[in-house]
């Protein structure tokens, strides 16, 4: 339909933009290139500054999107080409093969149980999270359907026992597969939803405006930064977030990678990566992420000792400073200063941190059992391609550029293409939601 709106990115920004526009009466396509909508919020434990449980507040919105008559969800889907025609955008999408018929799949999980091969999860692999080659992204996923790791389908996992046949061709060559365990399990259930020969499918749509909500990624420090990837018990704040999460790989147990023991002393280092070529900016939310994580750590076990190395404290939003105070009052030590050296104790795998306490002007050291690197937020790795396809500009950091931030916030250099959420830069949830409503306002006005 020509007066519809395409929303690219199904995180909390995209979900809100979609619901606003759809409630207003527009036809909306909500597109994400991963297997489920939800974005970063679906992976978080609690959320600052109130410590609301993240998925608890996000999943009702996800179900609303799913059941909204005006919204079509397109997951595992990419934007390939955009043409301007009579003020409309003609868009070529590609629905990537899921190898599962999402309409037939009920998310019952029988295929997942049947699959014998586990691989490290993209997100949780470093802290022991595994997933099957056929999997459901997370329990509240929308759509609630499995997806097959393409590596499996090409027969590459046969040696690991993914299926029992000794086929000489890859799965895409057969219309019917009697031997793949997931296919069989699904058939036994009376469904026939696993389709190993599914191929990518093009899809054309025409829309009046586009909202880009491609979000953020957590920065992955380079190997060696404060011992990251070298010492086992050095993890990022996103990995720590997953450890805290009852829906995460440890069922909410905060355990350290080396021995799965509950660490009794944990340190956080702020601004990791900042100043590097990659992060020449402040990500602004990391101070609050750490405040949240120390508060929740103490809620799990008040006897755990927590310390934070910080630079300038960013507590800019409503209720943020109170939240920080809560962290301090809970007994967390905040130390102004940047550590300059970390080394690991070979037997205990504990870490000694050397640092200068800038408030005291002293060189000091602390030994901790787990070290969390509070890294910043970086743009989605797909932004460059998306910018090219849409003809919009990126700023020097790789976020999308606003044409005139003050006079025309959230507008791009292409009329009819708007931004919100992490697509514009580091941001928290509340601001993402505000921008999502604002961008949907722009989009519906542009439709007129």
Partner 1 sequence: MNNDIRVGVFVCDCGTNIARTVNVPQVVEYAKGLKNVIFAEEGKWSCSVDYLAKLQEAIKEHNLNRVVIASCTPRTHEPLFKKTVKEAGLNPYLLEFVSIREQASWVHMDDPVRATEKAKDLVKMGVAKAILLELGEDFRLPVKQDCLIIGGGMAGMTAALNIAAQGFKAIIVEKQPQLGGLLNKLDRIAPEEVSADAMVKAKAELIAQNENIKVYTNTEIEDIQGYIGNYKVRVKTNGKSEEFDASTIIAATGMKEIEPVGQYGYGDDSRVITQLQLEGLLKSNGLEAKRDVVIINCVNSKNEERGCCNIGCLASVKNAMALKTINKGTRVHILYRDLSIVKDELSYLKDARNMGIKFIRYTEERQPEVSREDSHLMVRVYDLLLGRELKIPADLIVLTTAFEGDSTVDQLKGQLKVSTNPDGFFQEAHVKLGPSDFPSDGLYLCGCARSPKNLKDTCEESMAAAMRASIPMKVGYLEAEGIVADIDLDACNDCGICVKNCPYGAIQLVDDRPNVLKALCKGCGLCAADCTKDAITIVHYSDEQILAQVEAALEEKAQEKIIAFCCHWCALGAVDMAGVSRLQYPPNVRIIRVMCSARVATKFVLRAFELGAAGVLVAGCEFPTCHYIVGNYKAEKRMERVTKKRLAQKGYDPSKLWTAWLSATDGPKFAATMRAMTKQLNLE
Percentage helix, strand, coil, to 5, in the chain?
A: 30, 25, 45
> Which of 104, 260, 333, 388 is in the footprint of partner 1 by CB under 8 A?
104
Angle between helices 429-447 and 12-24 (to 10 degrees): 40
Select 318 or 347, whichever has its Cβ closest to partner 1: 318
Q: How far apart are CA 439 and CA 417, in angstroms?
A: 9
| Phi, psi angle pair for 137, to nearest 5° | -50, -45
Q: Which is nearer to partner 1, 166 or 190 (CB)?
A: 190
Alpha-carbon distance of 52 to 49, in angstroms, equals 8
Minimum Å gap between C-beta 291 and partner 1 is 12
Q: Interface with ligand FAD by CB under 6 A: which residues?
A: 8-14, 31-34, 39-41, 44, 47-48, 213-216, 218, 237-238, 241, 285, 289, 292, 377, 380, 382, 386, 421-422, 427-430, 432
Residue 411 DSSP one-character state: B
The residue written with tokens 């955009």 in the block is 82
Tell me: does residue 246 bind partner 1 (CB under 8 A): yes
d(CA 345, CA 258): 12
Which of 73, 207, 211, 444 lies at the binding interface for partner 1 (CB under 8 A)? 444
Site for partner 1 contains 47 (CB under 8 A): yes
- 191 makes contact, choosing from partner 1, ligand FAD, none, with CB < 5 to 8 Å by partner type, with partner 1
Residue of the chain from 173, 200, 316, 393 that contacts partner 1 (CB under 8 A): 316
Q: Residue 120 touches which of ligand FAD, partner 1, none (CB < 5 to 8 A by kind)?
A: none
Q: How far is the CB of 238 from ligand FAD (least distance, A)?
A: 4
Residue nearest to ligand FAD (CB): 11
How far is the C-alpha of 256 from the C-alpha of 398, rounded, in Å?
33
| Alpha carbon of residue 114 to chain centroid | 27
- Check residue 433 for interaction with partner 1 (CB under 8 A): yes
Cβ 323 to ligand FAD, closest distance in Å?
10
Q: Report the SS3 class of residue 232.
A: coil
Find the shortest distance in angstroms from Cβ 399 to ligand FAD.
11
| Spatial separation of the C-alpha atoms in residues 302 and 296, rounded to whole Å | 9
Q: With CB under 8 A, what is the number of residues at the site for partner 1? A: 79
Q: Under DSSP, is residue 408 helix (H, G, I), strand (E, B) or coil?
A: strand
Least Å from the CB of residue 114 to ligand FAD? 27
CA distance 111 to 40: 26
Is residue 434 within the footprint of partner 1 (CB under 8 A)? yes
Judged by CB under 8 A, the chain residues 396 through 425 that form the site for partner 1 are 405-407, 409-410, 425
Please tell me the distance from the alpha carbon of residue 150 to that of residue 164, in angstroms, as a whole number: 17
- Nearest distance, CB of residue 237 and ligand FAD, angstroms: 5
């Amino acid at each position: 339909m020509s007066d519809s709106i395409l929303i690219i990115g199904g995180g909390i920004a995209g979900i809100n933009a979609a619901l606003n526009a759809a409630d207003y009466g527009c036809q909306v396509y909500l597109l994400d290139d991963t297997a489920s909508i939800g974005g970063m919020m679906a992976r978080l434990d609690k959320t600052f500054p109130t410590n609301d449980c993240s998925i608890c507040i996000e999943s009702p919105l996800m179900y609303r999107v799913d059941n909204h008559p005006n919204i079509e969800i397109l997951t595992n889907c990419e934007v390939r080409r955009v043409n301007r025609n009579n003020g409309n955008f003609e868009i070529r999408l590609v629905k990537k093969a899921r190898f599962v018929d999402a309409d037939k799949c009920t998310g019952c999980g029988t295929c997942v149980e049947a699959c014998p091969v586990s691989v490290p999860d993209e997100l949780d692999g470093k802290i022991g999270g595994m997933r099957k080659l056929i999997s459901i992204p997370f329990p509240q996923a929308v759509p609630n359907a499995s997806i097959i790791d393409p590596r499996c389908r090409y027969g590459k996992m046969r040696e690991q026992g993914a299926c029992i046949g000794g086929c000489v061709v890859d799965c895409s060559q057969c219309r019917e597969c009697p031997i793949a365990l997931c296919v069989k399990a699904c058939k036994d259930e009376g469904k026939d939803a696993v389709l190993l020969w599914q191929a990518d499918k093009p899809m054309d749509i025409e829309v009046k405006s586009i909202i880009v909500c491609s979000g953020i990624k957590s920065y992955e420090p380079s190997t060696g930064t404060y011992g990251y990837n070298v010492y086992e018990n050095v993890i990022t704040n996103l990995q720590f977030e997953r450890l805290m999460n009852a829906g995460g790989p440890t069922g909410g147990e905060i355990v350290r990678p080396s021995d799965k023991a509950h660490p009794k002393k944990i340190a956080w280092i702020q601004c990791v990566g900042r100043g590097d070529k990659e992060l020449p900016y402040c990500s602004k939310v990391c101070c609050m992420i750490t405040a949240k994580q120390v508060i929740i750590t103490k809620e799990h076990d008040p006897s755990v000792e927590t310390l934070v190395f910080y630079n300038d404290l960013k507590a800019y939003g409503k209720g943020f400073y109170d939240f920080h105070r809560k962290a301090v009052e809970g007994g967390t030590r905040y130390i102004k200063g940047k550590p300059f050296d970390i080394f690991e104790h070979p037997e205990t795998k504990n870490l000694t941190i050397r640092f200068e306490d800038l408030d005291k002007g002293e060189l000091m050291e602390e030994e901790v059992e787990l070290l969390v690197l509070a890294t910043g937020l970086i743009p989605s790795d797909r932004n460059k391609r998306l910018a090219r396809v849409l003809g919009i500009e990126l700023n020097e950091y790789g976020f999308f550029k606003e044409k005139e931030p003050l006079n025309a916030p959230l507008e791009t250099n292409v009329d009819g293409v708007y931004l919100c959420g992490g697509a514009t830069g580091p941001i928290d949830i509340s601001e993402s939601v505000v921008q999502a409503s604002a961008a949907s306002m722009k989009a519906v006005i542009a439709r007129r």
